[in-house]
Amino acid sequence: MVTLLAAHHTTGVAVSWTLHLLGLHPAAADRVADELDRVAGDRAAPDFAGLRRLTYLELVLKESMRLYPPGPYGARETTEPLVLGGYEVPAGTTVFYPFWALHMNPAYWPEPQAFRPERFTPEEAAGRPRFAYVPFGLGPRGCEGAGLAMVEAELILAVLLKRFRFRPAPGHEVTPVERFVLWAADDIRMIVEPRDPLRGT
């Protein structure tokens, strides 16, 4: 059950938000499509070695999960009393922490609302604290399906973006809603069109 929820349900949510963001940023979508054409060639999907070469797609997925973390919060139980932000927290208290509070911290993410996949290049990530980005939670109780979820999400995106272009549905407002996963209040509606890789469109 954990693997089903951790590496499948939330993966679909991450893919949906990534397609939404690429629809809003056609230059990034073009760059992903070019990378897919170069790496996968005529194949409908890359093999595992090819998947590792889709470096820009990985940056896009990570930035998407920074802006729209599929699981929007984590929880921990205190093992001893502590003072947090001036408040006394007794031992045995369950503390929820929102991932957005970390992912939108301007100290580590300049212009945090902006979609910038390049934030996750090795050069940009160097020196950034490990816990500034926690889409899978943190510590020994982080998401057990994190590795599988990343491979699944990248492969699903590769298959879809190799064949199709996604554009936002005109007039449809996408509003995130925090539940067990990060839903959109009225879904994410998009227009899907077939790509022609030979023409680069």
pLDDT tens column, 10-52: 888 999 999 999 999 999 999 999 999 999 999 988 998 999 9
Beta bridge partners, 47, equal: none
- Whether 81 is covered by a domain: the verdict is no
- What is the structure's pLDDT at 196? 77
- Whether 40 is covered by a domain: the verdict is yes
Sorting pLDDT into bands at 50, 70 and 90, what band is 185? very high
Segment 55-83 mean pLDDT: 93
Segment 164-190 mean pLDDT: 93
- Whether 156 is covered by a domain: the verdict is yes
Task: Give which of 201, 130, 153, 163 is closest to 54, Cα–Cα.
Answer: 153
Give SS3 for 57.
helix
Task: Give which of 193, 184, 65 is closest to 134, Cα–Cα.
Answer: 65
- Whether 48 is covered by a domain: the verdict is yes
130 burial (CB, 10 Å; 0-12 / 13-18 / 19+) is exposed
Give the structural domain span for 53: 2-71+104-194
Write the CATH number for 165. Answer: 1.10.630.10
pTM: 0.89
**Separation CA 113–CA 3 (nearest Å):** 31
Q: Total structural domains in the chain?
A: 1
Task: Give which of 128, 136, 127, 154 is closest to 40, Cα–Cα.
Answer: 154
- What is the structure's pLDDT at 122? 95
pLDDT tens column, 93-150: 998 888 988 999 999 999 999 999 999 999 999 989 988 999 887 766 667 667 788 8
Sorting pLDDT into bands at 50, 70 and 90, what band is 6? low
Give SS3 for 124.
helix
- Whether 85 is covered by a domain: the verdict is no
